[in-house]
């Protein structure tokens, strides 16, 4: 590993980079244990990839702001150290892939020359502070939240109260009540408000608290209708202190702040936060509203340019541009498929647009790019530049604009190839459902696994990767989720799990749902209203034929874009902080089934509830059998093998035989009494099995 010298202006950053180089050397020499080094590198934005021996580097861009010079610097760095590609993330970061660990210090030094950092981009830290990409130019905003997001980033980066938390912490600022930064699914979500006090305008925020995505999404709760602007930093600080003290650190599945709120109760958490505020660095924090100034507009464009495709250009104008609150200027959304732009195209993009837009671009939460301060006369030129690069795709933020995580391309946790699935769906919708190019209240989002990096939980139609078994083989599958999304002003919805289908059938799912929506929706009815009227059960029945595994073709045993045999080999997920394998997946699905049973019980659907409970017994037993290398082919074999290998060996005990306990399903008529008793037994078995599994993993 080569040493290097850097002339960085910030001595703290310089020291951090030098220290990283030392730690890497210490790790290579065997002087630092794996877990300790992993924690250190994650806190510096260095994340292990699915491919051995290389790293993903996450560049932390507060509220997604990136300048021309910074993007060009990232392109240079990606060419020298990575794969000549730039990836935009759903938290407004930029990632590059296939980087050698030993070269990360010098890579960081180059990025730091243009005021970019890797610090706390991953790990158990305050992650990138996000904001609505249109902040500063949004016609609906009460004020620009960019300075507040920037201040939050600066206040908590390298802050000791959040250097080694039990889990990550996420903060987002929406620019208006449209809530495009998803305040309802953040640990802290802020929506700007203005009120008049004694004749003077006062700025503040509606505050959403304790939300989160992940494998088990939880909606945030509103704790303030209006919090004055000088109080939001102290509130975050006190909360993080409480989280650091009371947050789970052993079972990382339950380590997010949302579980602290769930466990202690909102009232008790807020009491602890109030009690903690005395220890804050400050009781009131005055915000410098000029921290993020508006950029200089481009010079007047005097030429005349005709768009290369007049018809497509007109659609693009309607879907990808909007009039800013600054009169005479337009925001332009660049739709970047799967969030990936090769470095060569990035350079050509900057070269083509830099005299036509302001030097203040924003990465969006749906992996696109927002250009600001375009003059109307420049729009045809900008369109032509994008067209020449393949980025003049219309339909920004529409059904046609599918969000996805990297999936099995690079991620350790990926179960399915979500990027190719997204490309297939976009092509399919454009060809067969072109009218949805204007529909911005029906979004499709995909994650490669149950963790929600692709935001599938807040999609109107969402998919996450999974697997199914048929004909003695495993095939890639997609969990279908419907009914999520943003309502507005802190209100959001988490999508319902409907059914699981072979991955190759997702186009059928989308086709069926979109057609049904077009045919059966009432006049002016939104997708949410239509979904609520039809009910979850309607969609289960609608999609049930697609989930039928008796008609599988050989192609359906292959994932999208793959020709090799599908397998569920999963590595260690460092961002999510858990080990995801088939055993863990089955146990998670057990929890889902128990939750479905509770919901069915509440509705009086006792037979449905009882079958969900029975399935949870089988899934739990199957998971533990896999730990012993036993992959029973039928449910009855699972039940019997568990009896033999776990009950008769004394690992688990029951008042009666395990087989008798599970097979009560066919000994009683469906009733509330039996369903409740059966659910109690299954829940107890699940928790005992989960504890046993955790002990095995730790051993």
pLDDT at 443: 96
Instruction: Provide mean pLDDT across the span 623-629.
Output: 86
Sign of the C-alpha dihedral, residues 428, 429, 433, 435?
negative
Q: Which domains are present in the chain? A: 1-120 (3.30.70.2500), 124-293 (3.30.413.10), 310-389 (3.30.70), 403-557 (3.30.413.10), 581-698 (1.20.120.330)
Residue 660 pLDDT more than 70?
A: yes
Tokens of residue 300, six digits: 């007047």
pLDDT, tens digit (0-9, with 9 covering 90-100), for 338-370: 899 999 999 999 999 999 999 999 999 999 999
> Which helix (H) or strand (E) covers residue 333, if one does?
strand 329-334
pLDDT at 31: 75
User: Which range has highest mean pLDDT (22-36, 160-174, 184-198, 409-423)?
Assistant: 184-198
Report the 10 Å Cβ neighbour count for 657.
Answer: 13
Closest CA to 151 of 32, 63, 27, 228: 63
Residue 221 pLDDT more than 90?
A: yes
Instruction: Provide mean pLDDT across the span 461-472.
Output: 92
What's the distance, Cα to Cα, between the start and end of the chain in Å?
35
Distance CA 450, CA 216 (A): 9
Distance CA 601, CA 180 (A): 36
Sign of the C-alpha dihedral, residues 214, 226, 146, 40?
negative
Residue 2 pLDDT more than 60?
A: no
CA distances to 25, 537, 607 from 32, rounded to whole Å, are 9, 54, 55
Higher pLDDT residue, 603 or 3?
A: 603
Residue 158 pLDDT more than 80?
A: yes
Higher pLDDT residue, 19 or 497?
A: 497
Closest CA to 87 of 388, 337, 389, 413: 337
Instruction: Provide mean pLDDT across the span 649-654.
Output: 90
pLDDT at 5: 40
118 burial level (CB within 10 Å; 0-12, 13-18, 19+): buried
**Is there a contact between 320 and 335 (Cβ–Cβ < 8 Å)?**
yes
Sign of the C-alpha dihedral, residues 304, 307, 310, 313?
negative
Distance CA 475, CA 466 (A): 9
Residue 36 pLDDT class (50, 70, 90 cuts): low
Report the 10 Å Cβ neighbour count for 564.
Answer: 7
Closest CA to 447 of 420, 465, 459, 460: 465
pLDDT, tens digit (0-9, with 9 covering 90-100), for 244-280: 878 887 677 888 999 999 989 999 999 999 988 887 8
Residue 33 pLDDT class (50, 70, 90 cuts): low
CA distances to 122, 123, 170, 489, 502 from 188, rounded to whole Å, are 18, 18, 7, 14, 36
Residue 26 pLDDT more than 70?
A: yes
- Look up the pTM and report it: 0.78
The residues pairing with 371 across neighbouring beta strands, listed in sequence order, are 332
Distance CA 451, CA 570 (A): 13
Tokens of residue 568, six digits: 């569920």
Q: What percent of the chain has pLDDT over 70?
A: 95
pLDDT at 162: 83
Residue 576 pLDDT more than 70?
A: no
Closest CA to 217 of 424, 550, 447, 62: 447
> Which helix (H) or strand (E) covers residue 77, if one does?
helix 68-81
Distance CA 323, CA 205 (A): 25
**Residue 92 C-alpha from the chain's centroid:** 11
pLDDT at 269: 94
Instruction: Provide mean pLDDT across the span 591-618.
Output: 85
SS3 string, 423-442, reads: HHHHHHHHHHCHHHHHCCCC
Strand order in the sheet with 171-173: 130-131, 171-173, 188-197, 200-209, 221-228
SS3 324: coil
Residue 167 pLDDT more than 70?
A: yes
DSSP conformational letter for 208 = E
The residues pairing with 444 across neighbouring beta strands, listed in sequence order, are 461
Residue 514 pLDDT class (50, 70, 90 cuts): very high
Higher pLDDT residue, 120 or 429?
A: 429
Higher pLDDT residue, 30 or 566?
A: 30
**Is there a contact between 54 and 46 (Cβ–Cβ < 8 Å)?**
no
pLDDT, tens digit (0-9, with 9 covering 90-100), for 281-325: 789 999 999 999 999 999 998 888 999 999 999 999 999 999 999
Distance CA 616, CA 682 (A): 7
The residues pairing with 321 across neighbouring beta strands, listed in sequence order, are 332
129 contact partners, CB below 8 Å, separation of at least 6: 62, 63, 149, 150, 152, 153, 156, 171, 172, 173
**Is there a contact between 75 and 342 (Cβ–Cβ < 8 Å)?**
no
pLDDT at 569: 54
- Integer-rounded Cα radius of gyration of the chain: 26
pLDDT, tens digit (0-9, with 9 covering 90-100), for 518-574: 999 999 999 999 999 999 999 999 999 999 999 999 999 998 887 777 666 554 455
């Amino acid at each position: 590993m080569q040493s290097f010298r850097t002339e960085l202006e910030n001595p703290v950053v310089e020291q951090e980079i030098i220290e990283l180089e030392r730690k890497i050397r210490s790790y290579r020499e065997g002087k630092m244990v794996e877990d300790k080094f992993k924690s250190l590198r994650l806190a510096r934005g260095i994340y292990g990839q699915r491919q051995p021996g290389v790293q993903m580097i996450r560049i932390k861009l507060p509220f997604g702001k990136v300048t021309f010079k910074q993007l060009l610097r990232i392109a240079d760095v990606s060419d020298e150290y990575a794969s000549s590609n730039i990836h935009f993330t759903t938290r407004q970061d930029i990632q590059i892939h296939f980087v050698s660990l030993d070269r990360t210090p010098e890579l960081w030094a180059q990025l730091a020359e243009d005021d970019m950092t890797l610090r706390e981009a991953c790990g158990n830290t305050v992650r990138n502070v996000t904001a609505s990409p249109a902040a500063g130019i949004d016609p609906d905003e009460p004020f620009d939240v960019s300075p507040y997001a920037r201040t939050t980033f600066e206040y908590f980066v390298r802050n000791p109260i959040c250097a080694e938390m039990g889990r990550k912490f996420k903060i987002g600022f929406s620019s208006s009540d449209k809530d495009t930064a998803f305040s309802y699914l953040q640990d802290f979500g802020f929506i700007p408000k203005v009120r008049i006090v004694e004749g003077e305008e006062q700025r503040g925020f509606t505050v959403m608290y304790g939300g989160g995505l992940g494998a088990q999404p939880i909606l945030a709760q509103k704790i303030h209708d209006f919090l004055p602007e000088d109080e939001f930093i102290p509130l975050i600080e006190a909360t993080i202190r409480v989280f650091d003290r009371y947050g789970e650190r052993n079972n990382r599945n339950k380590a997010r702040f949302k579980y602290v709120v769930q466990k202690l109760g909102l009232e008790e958490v807020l009491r602890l936060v109030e009690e903690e505020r005395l220890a804050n660095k400050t009781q009131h924090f005055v915000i410098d509203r000029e921290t993020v100034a508006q950029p200089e507009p481009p010079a007047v464009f005097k030429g005349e340019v005709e768009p290369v495709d007049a018809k497509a250009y007109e659609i693009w104008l309607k879907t990808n541009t909007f009039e800013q609150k600054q009169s005479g200027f337009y925001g332009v959304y660049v739709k970047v498929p799967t969030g990936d732009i090769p470095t060569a195209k990035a350079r050509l993009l900057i070269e083509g647009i830099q005299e036509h837009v302001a030097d203040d671009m924003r990465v969006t939460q749906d992996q696109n790019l927002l250009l600001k301060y375009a003059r109307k006369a420049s729009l045809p030129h900008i369109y032509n530049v994008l067209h020449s690069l393949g980025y003049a795709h219309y339909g920004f933020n529409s059904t046609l604009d599918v969000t996805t995580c990297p999936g099995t391309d690079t991620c350790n946790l990926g179960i399915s190839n979500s990027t190719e699935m997204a490309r297939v769906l976009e092509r399919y919708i454009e060809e067969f459902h072109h009218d949805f190019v204007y529909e911005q209240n029906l979004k499709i989002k995909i994650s490669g696994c149950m963790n929600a990096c692709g935001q599938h939980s807040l999609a109107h139609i969402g998919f996450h990767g999974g697997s199914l078994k048929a004909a003695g083989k495993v095939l890639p599958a997609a969990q279908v989720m419907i009914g999520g999304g943003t309502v507005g002003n802190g209100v959001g919805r988490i999508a319902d799990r409907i059914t699981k289908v072979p991955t190759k059938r997702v186009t059928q799912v989308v086709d069926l749902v979109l057609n049904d929506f077009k045919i059966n929706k009432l006049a002016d009815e939104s997708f949410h209203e239509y979904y609520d009227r039809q009910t979850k059960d309607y969609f289960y029945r609608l999609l049930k034929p697609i989930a039928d595994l008796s008609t599988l073709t050989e192609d359906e045993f292959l994932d999208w874009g793959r020709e090799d045999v599908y397998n569920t080999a999963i590595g260690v997920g460092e961002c999510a902080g858990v080990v995801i394998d088939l055993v863990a997946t089955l146990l998670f699905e057990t929890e889902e089934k128990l939750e479905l049973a509770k919901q069915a019980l509440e509705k009086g659907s006792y037979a449905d509830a009882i079958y969900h409970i029975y399935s949870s017994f089988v899934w739990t037993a199957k998971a533990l059998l896999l730990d012993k290398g036993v992959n029973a082919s039928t449910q009855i074999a699972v039940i019997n093998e568990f009896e033999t290998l776990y009950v008769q060996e004394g690992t688990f005990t029951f008042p009666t035989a395990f087989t008798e306990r599970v097979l009560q399903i066919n000994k009683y008529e469906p009733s509330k009494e039996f369903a409740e008793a059966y659910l109690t037994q299954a829940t107890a078995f699940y928790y005992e099995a989960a504890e046993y599994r955790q002990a095995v993993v730790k051993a």
